[in-house]
Structure 1
């Protein structure tokens, strides 16, 4: 799966736990938000599986429903 830079739309590389766009020379971290309330989700990792939990009453959220966003790192 290619992740495209939100500024220049070039493919980004995964480097040290974040995405890096060589074209813009900018780093981005990916965040997961609840599709129902828009609040950040807690990421649960165990035995190679990744699950998402909404702490605002929506419970476990399927990866297919998660709203991913990229924020620029300072």
Structure 2
């Protein structure tokens, strides 16, 4: 089951170096929000692993708790 769904038409987004909806012909970015304070998270990526940091809470957040949203590029 793919979690990358277009917020407009609910079709599956393709990864082409960015998220793209063929049906809407629109590109999207995937943005994570803190589960505790709802602030936008900073993505930290190193050695193939991605971590998410909340500047408001000043701590790392578990990827399983993050609310992701696709926003137009």
Write out the 4+ residue segments of structure 1 that deviate beyond 6 Å after TM superposition.
Answer: none
Q: Which runs of 5+ in 2 are unaligned?
A: none
Q: Which runs of 5+ in 1 are unaligned?
A: none
Residue correspondence of structure 1 range 1-74 to structure 2 within 5 A: 2=2, 3-16=4-17, 18-73=18-73
* TM-score, reference length from structure 2: 0.87
* TM-score, reference length from structure 1: 0.86
Counterpart CA distance in 2 for 1:38 and 1:64 is 15
What is the count of residue pairs matched by the alignment?
Answer: 72
